[in-house]
Amino acid sequence: MFTVRVRAQPPAPARSADRWADAGLVSGEAVELDVRAARLGSRVLALLIDLLVQVVLAAALSAGLSLLLLFLPTAIVDAALTGALQTVLLVLVLVGYPVLMERFVGGRTIGKLAVGLRVVRADGGPVGVGQSLTRALVGVAVEWPGLVLPLLSWVASVTVMLTDPRGRRLGDLVAGTMVVHTRGAAVWRPVPLAVPALLGWAHTLDLTRLDDGLALAARQYLGRVHQLVEPERARLGRELWAEVGAVITPPPPWAAPESVYLAAVLAERHRRAVDRLRRTRGVAAMLWPELTTSPVAAPPPAAPPPAATAPAATAPAATAPAATAPATTAPAATAPALAVPTQPDPVRAQPAPVDAEHPAG
């Protein structure tokens, strides 16, 4: 089994904004969680999506409210009732929407779901109803739409988000919450292919002693080499190549980085596996063609014709009119031919006993 020994990485950069796990969340086992805090750009994008949803929701509720007022008696419909219903509608859209969504969708609204954000407590736990309500009320009052000094509150909110290490807004500071990313920002990178100069050497390799565990370790190293830091990246590459080079022959023709050797070995191993699979499928296609053909293109073969011994079995029946044999004797004459269709000799020998029992004159 391949064992990887990894030392602690060098200290993280001084600025927390340059780190991946900049949310500062720590689990109960005192392990820092690899989570990013949401910044101004992603949160504004989520807010714009939520605003579009709220506009559609407000239009639908307004249509329903208009229908309700039409069916109410004219005596009770006045400006006070209309204003009260409009206020309730506004509260439902601006406060009820985020609170209910964060309560039942795990701290996410539709905009946060689209962008990949989630509201959590400052310690990383799930957000509660009281905290969601506090965030919504503070947001409506001093952030968006900002009922108290709109322009000044907008500037203050943006300033707080830009200066806070976790990108929190005023509602987060009051409620004790924060917004984090739920999706990783790592870029998928394929395994490097073999360089053309090593293809000839790779074709001559003996890979019989390269087991799956060691090949998987090399594959994972090449897939994550861009995430490692020096000098650990070079040291781990040297250790992996030392183990791989000890089980393959011949040695490489010229000096190159260890990752180049590993990529050439894995590419050749993959090529040989594809060739073996192609040959196996070719043999299976010859032995069992139905596996590689469609039932519509290749219908099943027709049923075989009746047994070839049927005419021989009916030969004695041709003499039945001349012999004036009773009708009950015909099945007895043909029964042996049906019971033993693959033995023609006893069938041919049966006309003599039939003629003996019923002489012709």
Instruction: Delimit the domains of the chain by residue range.
Output: 20-181, 196-291
Q: Report how far residue 316's alpha carbon sits from residue 293's, in angstroms, rounded to the nearest whole number.
A: 47
φ/ψ of residue 275, rounded to 5: -65, -40
The first and second tokens of residue 258, run together, are 């260890």
Q: Are 250 and 201 in contact (CB under 8 A)?
A: yes
CA atoms within 13 A on the CB side of 120: 19
Tens digit of each residue's pLDDT (9 = 90 or more) over 130-149: 999 999 999 998 888 888 88
- Positions of the chain with pLDDT under 70: 1-22, 27-29, 31, 184-192, 291-361
pLDDT tens per residue across span 194-240: 788 888 898 899 999 999 999 999 988 888 887 788 888 889 999 99
Q: What is the pLDDT of residue 220?
A: 87
**pLDDT (0 to 100) of residue 43:** 93
pLDDT at res. 130: 93
What's the rounded Cα separation, in Å, for the pair 135 and 146?
13
Q: Alpha carbon 201 to chain centroid distance?
A: 37
Half-sphere exposure of 74 toward its Cβ, with a 13 Å CA cutoff? Answer: 0
pLDDT at 311: 44
Distance from C-alpha of 291 to C-alpha of 289, rounded to nearest angstrom: 5
| pTM, entire model | 0.51
pLDDT at 117: 94
Length of the chain: 361
3-state secondary structure of 22: coil
